[in-house]
Amino acid sequence: MKAVILVGGEATRLLPLTCNIPKAMVPVLNIPFLEHVIRYLNEHQVRDIILAQGHLAKPIEGYLGNGSQFGVKLSYTAEDTPRGTAGAVKNGERYLDETFLVLNGDIFTDLNITAMIGTHREKKAKATIALTPVDDPTSYGLIETNAEGRVTRFLEKPSWSQVTTKMINAGTYVVEPEVLSQIPPQVNFSFERNLFPLLLEQGEPIYAYPSAAYWMDIGTPEKYLQLHRDLLSGKSSQHTFASGEEVLIGGQSHIQATAEVKGTVVIGDNCSIGGGVKLIGPVVIGSGCTILEGAVIKESIIWRNAWLGRGVKLKSSIVADNCCLNANSIIEGSVLGDRVTVGSSCKLESGSKIEPGTTV
Ligand code: GTP
């Protein structure tokens, strides 16, 4: 079976992390998010994959190439202006002549897509939508079904008074190719807001596939941090962190004996962790990072090549590539784009989002 992964869009809610890279290339446990998705598809024997890209196309193709390194075959489409989720699939119509999967490229899930495809075929559906329960469905697309699992209503971002179910659109679909003829070419068209409601109106059989399997989208910095907390505490079956007290250290990395490590910590290659440094997990440090004496890093994600001076305090934050946090700076609850410099003893206001290349 073929799959289309949607990796375009504006990714406005994940800024400033996505100023220079697509959301799908944001690292999770030190590897690009998309690589996790491709490995997951490969495990389900889905190996013919179309990447529906937006304007930031180069980083994805440059990293994944033709996919042979990951045991899959990759094809690419690109858009000069965002086509929306269904418009993006229409753009790849030439590759799609049989039942196919569509995946939002910002969702990490253990959903059993093999079983989902089975249900789609059994019900003879034109489209099947995976559903997942969430505590607060008001910022998602809510989907109502009848007793047979057939979709009866879509409600995009409902108010609390409209909430009748906590099952939301999980961003994974099985689709019949004839549905593509319902998508107008060259325009912005969405599965959630346009195509599925249209098919419902036409009386086409759309089914739901509810699942309680692990599911998390990385649409916002908070959820990106939550995904790491979940993976590092063993909530997904795709990673085997279980003890809550585990340290993984990459090749050529050195940790001074007086450094203290608590909770689950992942350190990439070629890192140097100085004496008296405290790492209080969940913490992920990308390759090529230098952390000097006495720095304290708690519940944070640092991408590649960061330099943290003596006594830096970093808590509940995300630091993108090539940042420099000078001595004794204090950063809490913040998101730093790539190449940000924070001055010595500077204290960032909690909730700060710093644009790439800025000095503060
Ligand atoms: P926000 O601006 O933060 O809402 O992000 P987004 O534009 O990425 O939208 P959303 O999170 O709803 O997108 C769901 C998935 O579809 C993500 O994996 C996006 O990468 C992808 N996506 C959204 N819009 C487009 C589009 O116009 N073209 C393509 N190719 N992919 C898209």
- Which pLDDT band holds residue 243 (cuts at 50, 70, 90)? low
Q: How far apart are CA 302 and CA 314, in angstroms?
A: 10
Determine the atom of ligand 1 nearest the C-alpha atom of 5. 18
3-state DSSP helix/strand/coil % of the chain, to nearest 5: 25, 30, 45
pLDDT for residue 116: 98
Determine the atom of ligand 1 nearest the C-alpha atom of 220. 3
Spatial neighbors of 58 by CB under 8 A, at least 6 apart, are none
Test site for ligand 1: of 90, 104, 139, most ligand atoms within 8 A of the Cβ: 104
What mean pLDDT comes out for the span 322-345? 98
79 alpha carbon to ligand 1 midpoint, in Å?
A: 12
**Residue of the CA atom closest to atom 13 of ligand 1:** 9
CB-CB contact of 313 with 344 (8 Å): no
240 alpha carbon to ligand 1 midpoint, in Å?
A: 29
Q: How far apart are CA 236 and CA 333, in angstroms?
A: 25
Does the pLDDT of residue 58 top 90, yes or no? no
Tokens of 101: 């999967």
What does the domain layout of the chain look like in residue ranges?
A: 2-223, 247-354
Determine the atom of ligand 1 nearest the C-alpha atom of 105. 18
Integer angstrom CA distances of residue 328 from 108, 239, 293, 300: 35, 35, 11, 17
pLDDT for residue 308: 98
CB-CB contact of 196 with 151 (8 Å): yes
Does the pLDDT of residue 36 top 70, yes or no? yes
**Residue of the CA atom closest to atom 24 of ligand 1:** 9
Q: How far apart are CA 79 and CA 336, in angstroms?
A: 28
Does the pLDDT of residue 340 top 80, yes or no? yes
* Positive/negative CA dihedral, 91, 94, 97, 98: negative
The residue whose two tokens read 């998101």 is 335
| Sequential DSSP letters for 214-230 | -EEE-SSHHHHHHHHHH
What mean pLDDT comes out for the span 52-77? 93
Q: How far apart are CA 245 and CA 280, in angstroms?
A: 10
**Phi, psi values for residue 343, rounded to 5°:** -70, 160
Other C-beta atoms within 10 Å of 133: how many?
14
Domains 2-223 and 247-354 belong to one CATH topology: no
- Which pLDDT band holds residue 80 (cuts at 50, 70, 90)? confident
11 alpha carbon to ligand 1 midpoint, in Å?
A: 6
Task: Determine how β-strand 283-285 pairs with β-strand 301-302.
Answer: parallel
8 alpha carbon to ligand 1 midpoint, in Å?
A: 6
CATH code assigned to 247-354: 2.160.10.10
- Which pLDDT band holds residue 164 (cuts at 50, 70, 90)? confident
In percent, the amount of the chain with pLDDT more than 70 equals 98
What mean pLDDT comes out for the span 147-167? 91
Residue type, position 13, single letter: R
Coil, strand or helix at 181: helix
What mean pLDDT comes out for the span 334-354? 97
**Residue of the CA atom closest to atom 14 of ligand 1:** 104
145 alpha carbon to ligand 1 midpoint, in Å?
A: 25
Quote the mean pLDDT of the chain: 95
Test site for ligand 1: of 77, 106, 223, most ligand atoms within 8 A of the Cβ: 106
Residue type, position 190, single letter: S
Please report which residue ranges of the chain form alpha helices under DSSP H: 33-43, 58-64, 84-90, 113-123, 196-201, 221-232
Q: Is 9 left (phi over 0), alpha (psi -120 to 50) or beta?
A: left
Residue 304: burial class (beta carbons within 10 Å; 0-12, 13-18, 19+): buried
130 alpha carbon to ligand 1 midpoint, in Å?
A: 17
Determine the atom of ligand 1 nearest the C-alpha atom of 13. 3
- Which pLDDT band holds residue 5 (cuts at 50, 70, 90)? very high
**Residue of the CA atom closest to atom 23 of ligand 1:** 9
Determine the atom of ligand 1 nearest the C-alpha atom of 10. 7
2-223 placed in CATH 3.90.550.10: yes
pLDDT for residue 156: 85
- Which pLDDT band holds residue 244 (cuts at 50, 70, 90)? low
Q: How far apart are CA 243 and CA 124, in angstroms?
A: 43
Does the pLDDT of residue 242 top 70, yes or no? no
CB-CB contact of 78 with 34 (8 Å): no
Coil, strand or helix at 120: helix
Test site for ligand 1: of 4, 5, 10, most ligand atoms within 8 A of the Cβ: 10
Determine the atom of ligand 1 nearest the C-alpha atom of 53. 30
pLDDT for residue 218: 94
What mean pLDDT comes out for the span 128-150? 93
pTM of the model: 0.94
Q: How far apart are CA 232 and CA 236, in angstroms?
A: 9
Spatial neighbors of 108 by CB under 8 A, at least 6 apart, are 28, 33, 36, 37, 214, 215, 216, 217, 218, 227, 231, 236
Strand runs (DSSP E) across 81-200, as ranges?
100-104, 107-109, 127-133, 141-145, 151-156, 167-175
pLDDT for residue 277: 98
Give residue ranges with CB within 6 A of ligand 1.
6-14, 23, 52-54, 79, 82-85, 88, 104-106, 219
Does the pLDDT of residue 203 top 90, yes or no? yes
| Nearest to 26, CA basis, from 168, 190, 227, 241 | 227
Does the pLDDT of residue 241 top 80, yes or no? no
What's the count of helices (H) and strands (E) in the chain, helices before strands?
6, 31
